[in-house]
A and B are shown apart, each in its own frame.
Chain A
């Protein structure tokens, strides 16, 4: 559960781009002065043309995402000679970045049909760039020891019988269902109501708090029912079992208030800004071609989380060992 060997050099990832930052500031200055003379005022700079050869990748806050980003960054920089700016952003903020020009590409997107509607269909500032090859699973989980001790607990229909087990100081006389970060895709409040469950959704507020609670539930043999997802590096350390809810069928989650079925499997995909699609050249083609398996991602995530490597080193190691996987991604020219 702990990673005493973990690297301290994690934060150095952004270091490579530091000198570029100075340069792009200078470039921005020139651009801004030009804009100034042209229309009498400074635009936010957000929509301005980036210096050729820089790709802005949004970094969402989970390690699996970082694994995708690290490998793409590595290939863009080492194989194609681009400069990559990584921007640590929450999912929704990253989508806004398409509009402002701060973000060129999101390399692991979980559904977000509402955002697709806004930014792809209505505002037309973003485009989908195809699947990453990873299968995303969202659902309710319990620690392995609970599944062993109460075998029928993994059927959602039995949850009410076990509600007492999951009572906490936060859920009062109901069972607690622990949710995560507010930006994660969730229907849990509606599910609890529509499936008539005697549970209360408690928001841990962050992924870190959710993982910590899960680790403690295993270490202390403490009951816990929680919202979680795969691929996730925690599964390479401890086992958690998914609780089956009524199976997902097309359209059963169309109305957010009336959802009464499990989460669908997500085909994780990549999203790029329209501008990147039009002007990204080889960089765009590489992002478009990028596709790998859950095993690939878990391997890189495991390097990062449990083997104390920086994301850069982890990507370099994977790239060195999997040339046949990534060679086809590189544009022919």
Chain B
């Protein structure tokens, strides 16, 4: 291991650290043994923080139509967004299914080439074939409205953040919170401010989806080389000219990528907002859940996966093209011409063709129904398969659950909840100091203090135990699969669509089979979060191992390493930063599923959020629990990665397609 220096000296274990760590652990164990049961913070259903939030809620309810903030800001927002959604919706519906399919296909053709155009056309037709045309169009309208707003707001913010460190310093923590805050936790405050229905749905989606729009575009702009900018400035270009003529064109690929990520995030959130009466595929899934009919939900899930794949392929292919035209654009730009207008000149013909197709399509079938005769459903087959699995695998899955719960989860939870709270804080401080440095350690302890002040210590510790076990399982599965795909192209090809589906399929679809197999329990939540969190971990691990320089691998191989030695002694150590990033990303993804876990018996913070959403009197508790989840996220993030490391890399990791 010493033969290859680890890329980051900060994380490498120096001699002596091991002993220090061991001593620290022994100290903690001794502390737990002596003091267990003292200075714990048991749950109190009526903590002060809950009452404060509930009071806030009542105030808003009473002042909705009186207070100027509502009259002039909040209600305008709601009104404006509802106009936007209405517009997009009538546009898409007005085209009819022939028109919309033609428009989508034509757009895909112009932006991404004819192969993607065919894929897009087929994808849109599949919505109709599944019998979900109207719902798919609703979901698409909400997604597009939210993405439109996210880009309109996010791009300027990205520019500001790229240009000014002060703006960046303010934005970054806010974006962190937005990314960690579980989707469910927004919903109650959203309905409080914007009531229910489409506007609230779009605004909640906007909050969830805007961080990548800001981060990736800022990253792209910052990546434009300083010399190019200087060159432009030296020939007398103003800041605005530099931005418009040089920086934006050169960051095009990043900007398109930002749009891609925003779309993916928005799509997943729009489905969840069915809970606040947003129309679309999410409603189908929720209704299927009421009927305990997995097959029905699966059809809607497939429509969402197809929509995600189509939108992803269009935008990521467009990003690749932006990259090629970018070189042409630079040549044009170097000659002082307008940047990307010239490069696009050749496409005018295809635009015209596309517009013509779309118009023809819309004229042929304005608002006509998708033909009833052409229908296909996965529901019967899926229900049969799921039924078989639920009946026959249960003894095995039940045993797995019982062993892991009794052997790992319960002891872990016991240690966390029965230790004095200050001992847990000391443990976090120690681990933080050793792994991530002083600043990160202090932030982590600050997060714990916040949790204690919110009155949710015990529930947070219970959730922490679940999250830790889920993360470990996610990493085990993710590293194994990642190594496999890195070493075999075939495995990569087989796994990729499965990973895509696992990441875009709404978790509601597979929750019920999970309940059947593992019962209403914490372990069901763990199973669901592993499914959700494994794909990005696999991708990061795969990329990390593939990025190990060939020369290093060859050198080791020529020195006689077996493949196993190669992996253990060379590839994994060199890929360590990627592995740490994978761990960090895995934790964030697992946390995102905590609330969903509350719907299937995991209790603790997840259930608090669900209850806060369902019961007026529990609003304060639910809101506090949402904040506590964010604080847990901050804690784990800082402990695993140390401040600053994640920022520049994490934004590119949520991509559903590597």
Contacts and interface: CB of A to CB of B under 8 A. Distances in A.
A binds B: yes
Contact of A42 (B75, B289, B291, B387): B75
Interface residues of A, number: 76
Contacts of A219: 390-391
B83 A96 contact: no
A44 B78 contact: yes
Interface in A1-25: 1-12, 14-15, 18, 21-22, 25
Nearest to B286: A88
A54 interface: no
Contact of B134 (A15, A25, A172, A304): A15
Contact of A63 (B71, B281, B284, B291): B291
Contacts of A104: none
Interface stretch (B149-157, B423-431, B511-519): B511-519
Contact of A170 (B197, B387, B521, B614): B521
Nearest to A33: B79
Contacts of A46: 64-65, 195
B290 A62 contact: yes
B295 interface: yes
B516 A202 contact: no
B521 A3 contact: no
Contacts of B615: 92, 182-183
B516 A100 contact: no
B131 interface: yes
Contact of A10 (B82, B296, B617): B296
Contact of B68 (A41, A183, A205): A41
B444 interface: no
A197 interface: no
Which among B68, B290, B300, B375 has the greatest number of chain A C-beta atoms within 10 A?
Answer: B290
A43 B74 CA distance: 9
Contact of A88 (B131, B283, B384, B607): B283
Contacts of A216: 390, 394, 515-516, 519
A304 B380 CA distance: 16
Contacts of A63: 290-291
A32 B380 CA distance: 48
Interface stretch (B1-9, B594-602, B649-657): B594-602
Interface string B38-62: 0000000000000000000000010
A178 interface: yes
Interface string B370-402: 000001010110011011001100100000011
Contact of A182 (B375, B390, B611): B611
Interface residues of B, number: 87
Nearest to B188: A93
A6 B293 contact: yes
A43 B68 CA distance: 10
A100 B134 contact: no
B108 to A, nearest CB: 26
B380 A4 contact: yes
B569 to A, nearest CB: 39
B290 A1 contact: no
B13 interface: no
A44 B86 contact: no
A207 interface: yes
A52 to B, nearest CB: 20
A102 B276 CA distance: 12
A47 interface: yes
Contact of B405 (A6, A169, A206): A169
B65 A43 contact: yes
A156 interface: no
Nearest to B619: A92
Which among B296, B613, B616 has the greatest number of chain A C-beta atoms within 10 A?
Answer: B616
B603 interface: yes
A169 B402 contact: yes
B224 to A, nearest CB: 42
Interface in B243-300: 274, 277, 279, 281, 283-284, 286-293, 295-296, 299-300
Contact of B289 (A90, A91, A115, A206): A206
A32 B79 contact: yes
A11 B93 CA distance: 17
B514 to A, nearest CB: 9
A331 interface: no
Interface in B60-117: 61, 64-65, 68, 70-72, 74-76, 78-79, 82-83, 86, 89-90, 93
Contacts of B495: none
Contact of B195 (A26, A100, A114, A204): A100
B195 A44 contact: yes
A333 interface: no
B316 to A, nearest CB: 29
Nearest to B285: A11
Which among A42, A211, A215 has the greatest number of chain B C-beta atoms within 10 A?
Answer: A42
Which among A43, A115, A211, A212 has the greatest number of chain B C-beta atoms within 10 A?
Answer: A212
A220 interface: yes
Given A8-B296, A169-B523, A14 B391 contact: no
Contacts, number: 225
B125 interface: no
Nearest to A171: B521
Interface string B283-322: 1101111111101100110000000000000000000000
Contacts of B386: 2
Contacts of B531: none
B521 A168 contact: yes
A305 interface: yes
A6 B599 contact: no
Given A44-B70, A89-B196, A216-B516, A3 B291 contact: yes
A209 B601 contact: yes
B505 to A, nearest CB: 17
Interface string B187-203: 00001000111000000
B616 A96 contact: yes
A41 B191 contact: no
A85 to B, nearest CB: 10
Interface in B578-612: 598-603, 606-607, 610-611
A169 B521 contact: yes
A56 to B, nearest CB: 11
B419 to A, nearest CB: 18
Contact of A2 (B61, B75, B387, B405): B387
A203 B520 CA distance: 8
Nearest to A46: B195
B618 interface: yes
Interface string B117-148: 00000000000001110110010000000000
B638 interface: no
A181 B529 CA distance: 21
B473 to A, nearest CB: 16
Interface in B345-388: 375, 377, 379-380, 383-384, 386-387
A168 B406 CA distance: 10
Interface of B: 61, 64-65, 68, 70-72, 74-76, 78-79, 82-83, 86, 89-90, 93, 130-132, 134-135, 138, 191, 195-197, 274, 277, 279, 281, 283-284, 286-293, 295-296, 299-300, 375, 377, 379-380, 383-384, 386-387, 390-391, 394, 401-402, 405-406, 410, 511-512, 515-516, 519-523, 598-603, 606-607, 610-611, 613-618
Given A6-B379, A216-B390, 15 more contacts: A4-B383, A4-B384, A8-B375, A8-B377, A11-B135, A11-B300, A42-B76, A45-B78, A93-B196, A97-B196, A168-B519, A205-B602, A209-B600, A212-B512, A220-B394
9 contacts: A21-B89, A44-B74, A45-B75, A61-B286, A89-B277, A206-B610, A207-B290, A209-B600, A213-B520
Pairs of residues from A and B, 5 with the lowest C-beta to C-beta distance, nearest first: A41-B71, A11-B284, A183-B614, A182-B611, A204-B520
Interface of A: 1-12, 14-15, 18, 21-22, 25-26, 28-29, 32, 39-47, 61-63, 66, 87-93, 95-97, 99-100, 102, 114-115, 168-170, 172, 178, 181-183, 202-213, 215-216, 219-220, 304-305
